[in-house]
A and B are shown apart, each in its own frame.
Chain A
Amino acid sequence: MPSPCDFERPQAAGTFRGLWETSMYFLKLILRNALRHKLRTGLTMLGIFVAIVAFGLLRTVVESWFAGAENASSTRLITRNAISLVFPLPITYAERIRRVDGVGRVSHANWFGGVYVSERNFFPQFAVEAGTYFPLYPEYRIAPENMKAFLLDRKGCVVGRKLALQHGFKVGDVVPLRGTIFPGTWEFVVRAIYDGADAKTDTSQFFFHWDYLNETLKKTIPRRANTVGVYIVGIDQPSRAASVSSAIDQMFRNSLAETLTETEKAFQLGFVAMTEAIVAAIQVVSFLVIFIIMAVMANTMAMTARERLSEYATMKALGFGPVRLMALIFGESLAIAFAGAAAGIAATFPVADWFAAKMGTLFPVFGVSRDTVIMQLAAALLVGTVAALFPGLRAARLRIVDGLRNIG
């Protein structure tokens, strides 16, 4: 009778090749174990998929909320009325601000707040001093001939690419806006469409001539004429932001319209702060989603390990140590978590695009960032690891004789 006894007795040894082959064998075992209950694994993966998509989407919403502040320039300051943004500032302040040491270019803008066709079509509209405004925003890319056409047309307007695509605006189109802050129906002719310098640039805005607004107001509501919503102050060096801001505000202290000057980032964050509770709620929900799927996954893995106690005991009896058993359980848990997460991450991009399209210009910059993908992967790693922790420890501590009694 030939037998394995005819061979030299194998000795436990760890060559690199042997280690590699053993790892491959274990990988096979992990994958087969993961697919043993296809429905259970499939449903768990579906849960992780949904959780990862939801997590990614919510994180993207949070990021978009901060996008304006994140993309703010460090060489732009915003000067507004110290009481509130709704109170205007006199146009006469422009010259005095321009004379402050460290100030380069000064421009101004008014929030228009018009309605295009219906309230659902919200997009930001600003009346701007075109000659000084656009040089302060080099990230808005406009073809020179279109810019020239805009400057020559008192009723002309510039629209962002995203906005143009959303409403089908083309150069030469007439865009009517119903004023809510400034009464009446206002008609503008699209003279230019601007693109962003990069994907993070907001291209959902609408700009027209402040002069057009001001001249109309002189005729209709003279007391509101010659005022601006904010001044945009270009400074030479970002390091001088604090001193320049202070100098501007000092200049208008005790005047009828005191000013508050801050960096563009701080100005944008002020808007975010108004909705801080919503952002916090979204953040909490995004982490809750992960916590819930972690509990579901932990339950799946605990159930799986409980069913396999006799197999773990058998492997231990054959000489497999606790570390190898834990590797099997962690491997299976991580394989399921990462498979679900990979599909989830891949789906986050089209879902985010769909969401952005549905939200219109509510989120001017809405894209899944690299940080979000990294957080999704980290979430999958956390879910897979935590879910395997209890069953892994249970298998590692399992007494062989107890496990062998557990024939399932």
Chain B
Amino acid sequence: MTSTPIVQIRHLFKSYRRGGQVVPVLHDLSFDIAEGEYLALMGPSGSGKSTLLNLIAGIDKPDSGELRIGGEEISRLSESELADWRATNIGFVFQFYNLMPVLSAFENVELPLLLTGLSRRDRRERVQLALEMVSLVDRMAHYPSELSGGQQQRVAIARAIITDPLLIVADEPTGDLDRVSAAEILGLLERLNRELGKTIVMVTHDQRASERANVIKHLDKGELVESGTDAVAV
């Protein structure tokens, strides 16, 4: 693991309006995420961890503060610039997989590549490799409804890495899985981090999942309350 920060967060504030009232969610957050880090964000419901993940992933904007990822101040980007930036720099892993039900595993993984100038042949080559990594080559023609939850999440991981993003963000990636499948997914994320040096930011409630990360940060009421570095992997 290197210590170069890939994510720099400075005095980040975020609040929501609910029924005319301003509800603060994140309050003056400042921290870095180093390149190659596997960070687990933990905290009780409403602590702001998913909001923080959304901000880092560029799918929401802060009220104020600096949010620099890969050297780019993303809070200043327009919606269309952010969309392009996400396509290149962020890989998403969602709790409920969020695969397109009408597309096969292969086509789901291929989807982000449509925003690139890659030829069909190059896309096929990449998708096959990504599916090999998640051990689903034999299921590439299957539709999400024909796959188990664990397999669907593996397809989602293949989709997340297909564009070789700077950062993989995972929101409760094991939240909808049984223990065995969850362990598989966590193992896969760990391998991505350890063997490929991928930077991963994961939101989780699951203590077992967080133990796979090498950094754990706890949020409570929008503030960092505790940091654990280089947590012991199970």
Contact = CB atoms under 8 A, between A and B. Distances in A.
B130 A3 contact: yes
State the majority secondary structure of interface residues on A.
helix
A18 B119 contact: yes
- Bin the interface of chain B by size: 35 or more
Contact of A4 (B60, B107, B129): B129
A1 interface: yes
Interface stretch (A28-36, A43-51, A145-153, A186-194): A28-36
B86 A10 contact: no
Nearest to B120: A21
Contact of A10 (B59, B80, B102, B118): B118
Given A12-B84, A36-B102, A314-B98, A7 B126 contact: yes
B73 interface: no
Nearest to B117: A13
Contacts of B101: 36, 311
A3 B102 CA distance: 26
B59 A317 contact: yes
Interface stretch (B30-38, B161-169, B211-219): B161-169
A5 B166 CA distance: 10
Contact of A12 (B57, B96, B116, B195): B116
Nearest to B113: A10
Interface in B88-117: 88, 90, 92, 94, 96, 98, 100-103, 107, 110-117
Interface stretch (A176-184, A249-257, A318-326, A342-350): A318-326
B117 A314 contact: no
Given A10-B117, A320-B115, A400-B59, A5 B84 contact: no
B164 A29 contact: no
Contact of B119 (A7, A17, A318, A321): A17
A13 B117 CA distance: 4
A37 to B, nearest CB: 11
B77 interface: no
A3 B101 CA distance: 25
B129 A314 contact: no
Given A3-B133, A318-B92, A18 B118 contact: yes
B117 A15 contact: yes
B175 to A, nearest CB: 11
B196 interface: yes
B164 A9 contact: yes
Nearest to B128: A4
Query: In this complex, which of A6, A11, A18 has the most chain B Cβ atoms within 10 angstroms of its Cβ?
Result: A18
A4 B157 CA distance: 12
Contacts of A22: 114
Contacts of A85: none
B63 to A, nearest CB: 14
Nearest to A32: B102
A316 B85 CA distance: 12
Nearest to A31: B102
A14 interface: yes
B193 to A, nearest CB: 11
B83 A404 contact: no
B76 interface: no
Contacts of B118: 10, 18
A319 B98 contact: no
Interface residues of A, number: 39
B86 A318 contact: yes
B83 A4 contact: no
B57 A317 contact: yes
B117 A14 contact: yes
Interface string B166-192: 000000000000000000000000011
Contacts of B122: 7, 10
A319 B161 contact: no
B130 A319 contact: no
Contacts of B116: 10-13, 18
B41 to A, nearest CB: 16
Contacts of A2: 129, 132-133
B100 A311 contact: yes
A401 interface: yes
A407 interface: yes
Given A4-B129, A10-B118, A21-B120, A404 B112 contact: no
A11 B92 CA distance: 18
B59 A4 contact: no
B87 interface: yes
Contact of B161 (A3, A12, A317): A3
Nearest to A310: B98
A7 B60 contact: no
Interface in B134-175: 159, 161-164
B169 to A, nearest CB: 9
A25 interface: yes
B112 A318 contact: yes
A29 B100 contact: yes
23 contacts: A2-B132, A2-B133, A3-B133, A3-B161, A4-B161, A4-B162, A9-B88, A10-B117, A10-B118, A13-B116, A25-B114, A310-B96, A311-B98, A315-B100, A317-B92, A318-B86, A318-B115, A319-B87, A319-B88, A321-B83, A400-B60, A401-B60, A404-B98
9 shortest A-B CB distances, which residue pairs? A319-B87, A13-B117, A10-B116, A32-B102, A400-B59, A314-B98, A1-B195, A5-B164, A4-B126
Interface of A: 1-7, 9-15, 17-18, 21-22, 25-26, 29, 32-33, 36, 310-311, 314-321, 399-401, 404, 407
Given A4-B161, A13-B117, 4 more contacts: A4-B162, A10-B113, A18-B118, A32-B102
